[in-house]
Amino acid sequence: MTTRTWEDLQLPAPGTFVLDVAHTRIGFVVKHMMVSRVRGNFGEFSGTVTIAENPLESSAQLTIKAESIGTGAPDRDAHLRSDDFLAVEKFPELTFRSTRVTGYSDGEFTVLGDLVIRDVTRQVKLAVEYGGAGASPWGQELWGFSITTEIDREEFGLTWNQALEAGGVVVGKKIKIEIEGEANPA
């Protein structure tokens, strides 16, 4: 892969890259019953990253198929697809579009962008760790990344909950989003 040195990183040359769906996971973690965490992921998505000459001017977009949500529990997954949560019939996609890169420090970029869930748009701040660039044994150019952020689900209209007899609620308000992946030249 053609790379260049920027700050202390070996970044890909400017260009547009697509997410490698086979090597990318879009996951989430939410508190359950006030005592544990439930993990899940989305299995169908597409996205691009355009790396600019000045990496701080780069951009990204992501589209996720809402119905592809999975937690390993069919009943819970059906509930998450229902109108109580994602309402996948009315809102089939979740989207993210970056608005700007606000900084870089120690291998991590800070990216602001608009996240849309159930037609509600909120600005989110992503911590994007660049993982490096290279090529597979089969010659496929790639680069890797890790992304984390946390959102308040109620700000997106995901307000369903149930009070627990001992206090607290079934589903936590905060959702941690974790994306691990690779991108290839478009």
Mean pLDDT of the chain: 94
* Fold of domain 3-180: Lipocalin (2.40.128)
Domains in the chain: boundaries: 3-180
CB count in 10 Å sphere of residue 1:
16
- The share of the chain scoring above pLDDT 90, in percent, equals 82
Contact status, residue 19 vs residue 47, Cβ threshold 8 Å:
yes
- How confident is the model over 61-79, as a mean pLDDT? 97
Give tens-digit pLDDT for 28-37: 999 988 888 9
Whose tokens are 């229902």? That residue is 82
Predicted local confidence at residue 27, as pLDDT: 97
Task: Identify the three-state secondary structure at position 80.
Answer: helix
Cα(105)–Cα(129) distance, rounded to whole angstroms? Answer: 10
Residue 144 has pLDDT above 80, yes or no: yes
- Per-residue buried b or exposed e for 69-96, using 16+ beta carbons within 10 Å of the residue's own CB: bebeeeebbeebbeeebbbbeebebbbb
Q: What is the mean pLDDT of residues 117-122?
A: 97
Of 136, 186, 179, nearest to 29 by C-alpha is: 179
SS (H, E, C) 61-72: EEEEEHHHEECC
Going by C-alpha positions, the residue among 14, 16, 18 that lies closest to residue 47 is 18
pLDDT at 1 over 80: no
In this predicted structure, what is the pLDDT of residue 131?
Answer: 94
The DSSP element (H or E) to which 53 belongs, if any, is none
**What does the pLDDT read at residue 135?**
87
pLDDT digits (tens, 9 = 90+) for 95-111: 999 999 999 998 899 99
pLDDT band at residue 163 under the 50/70/90 scheme: confident
User: What's the token pair of residue 67?
Assistant: 């119905």
Q: Which residue has better confidence, 24 or 166? A: 24
